Structure 1
Amino acid sequence: MSVESFDPVSQVVTVTPAALEHFRSQLQTQPGRAVRLSVKKSGCTGFRYVIDMVEKGVENDLHFQLDDQIELFVDIESLSVISGTQIDLVKEGINRQIRFINPNVVDECGCGESFSVN
């Protein structure tokens, strides 16, 4: 695993303060000590995001220390699809959800479950 420090300007994946707080609360109630981001082939347009709460990343994951408590592992196999993505937590009415702002996305399915890239 490669270890890098968190630099929001040049980060492969950035995490907003709202999303970081969400991950912090999730890690207090679920097993795991870190967040792992990957993509899987799925849906009508190609890929879907996968966020797992994990104890540690897998071999070759990129490793980022988001703060003194939260680690982020990024699947290196997913890097070409998610590079430059910002993870945010948005509120819509009384609902909150993780939103991925990915500059590589060229199309999304109508329900928002999957996306495609060039």
Structure 2
Amino acid sequence: MAIKLTETAVKELKKVITEQQLPDAAALRIGVTGGGCSGFEYTLAFDENVNEEADTLTEVDGLRVAVDKKSALYLDGTELDYHESLEKRGFVFNNPNATKSCGCGSSFSA
């Protein structure tokens, strides 16, 4: 799989699924789009429309994860974590393919 999820991230994502009462068919869609201050931005959303021909679909601890094949090229080896502290909380991408990233943590260049 192109991307790994930490135990903390999976726990938080399952919490979101329960709180938002998402259907069992919903998969976590992780992707990359052009934009942001460094060239690319990470995308993270739940999606019920997974295309097995266009997406790589895996399951992590009962959580379905979909990554489109184009994004998989930029996300190979990336770890999705969840961080919570007094200063900030949210999902963090640790991408070994990023040659530069911005201060916000949601934009990078490869």
Normalised by the length of structure 1, the TM-score is 0.81
Normalised by the length of structure 2, the TM-score is 0.86
Distance between the aligned counterparts of 1:37 and 1:113, measured in 2? 12
Q: How far off is 1:60 after superposition?
A: 1.6
Matches within 5 A, 1:54-65: 54-58=47-51, 59-65=53-59
Matches within 5 A, 1:1-118: 11-30=1-20, 31-32=22-23, 33-58=26-51, 59-68=53-62, 70-93=63-86, 95-117=88-110
Contact kept, 8 Å, 1:27 with 1:34, in 2: the verdict is no
Q: What is the alpha-carbon root mean square deviation over aligned residues?
A: 1.6
User: Percentage identity across aligned positions?
Assistant: 31
Residue-by-residue CA offset, 1:58-98 (whole Å, 9 max, x unaligned): 34200111123x10001111111111000000122264210
> Gaps (5+ residues) in structure 1?
1-10
Contact kept, 8 Å, 2:93 with 2:105, in 1: the verdict is no
Matched residues, number: 106
Distance between the aligned counterparts of 1:56 and 1:24, measured in 2? 18
